[in-house]
């Protein structure tokens, strides 16, 4: 088994002892992405902006791994307020057009840095 850390400056640096993603045997396991602006290191304002930024960050990490959103097979979304599920779905649907990946969405008590949403993914490398 090969195991390679993936990193890109186009997404926020890890805020702890973990990799942005790990690439192994044709799969990429992308760590959760918050709605952090990679240049300023600050959270975007509001759920809509944080959702879009989290997806942009996720796409950048996947691209650095040699894959993309079109190759995602599973996502997990962590939301601080599950009543905002519809807002997230609307934005999420634009990122995953065609056949969307399998997905779980869970409400959490809190996220790092006060984030409102975090999205992680597993993708195949073609």
Q: Which residue ranges form the domains of the chain, and what is each CATH number? A: 4-124 (3.30.1330.40)
pTM above 0.85, yes or no: yes
Residue 84 structure tokens: 């905002």
Q: Which of 23, 84, 8 is nearest to 50 (CA)?
A: 84
Q: What does the pLDDT look like over 102-121, one tens digit per residue?
A: 999 999 999 999 999 999 99
Instruction: Supply angle C-alpha 6, 14, 18, rounded to 5.
Output: 70
What's the helix, strand, coil split of the chain in %, to 5? 30, 30, 40
- pLDDT classification of 123: cutoffs 50, 70, 90: very high
Distance of CA 9 to the CA centre of its chain: 15
């Amino acid at each position: 088994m090969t195991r390679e850390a993936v990193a890109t400056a186009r997404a926020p640096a890890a805020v702890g002892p973990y990799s942005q993603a790990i690439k192994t045997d044709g799969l990429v396991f992308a760590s959760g992405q918050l709605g952090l602006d990679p240049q300023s290191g600050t959270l975007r304002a509001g759920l809509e902006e944080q959702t879009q930024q989290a997806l942009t960050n996720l796409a950048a990490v996947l691209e650095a791994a040699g894959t993309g959103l079109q190759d995602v097979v599973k996502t997990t979304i962590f939301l601080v307020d599950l009543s905002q599920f519809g807002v997230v779905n609307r934005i999420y649907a634009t990122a995953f057009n065609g056949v969307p990946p399998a997905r779980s969405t869970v409400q959490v008590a809190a996220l790092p840095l006060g984030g409102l949403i975090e999205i992680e993914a597993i993708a195949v490398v073609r």
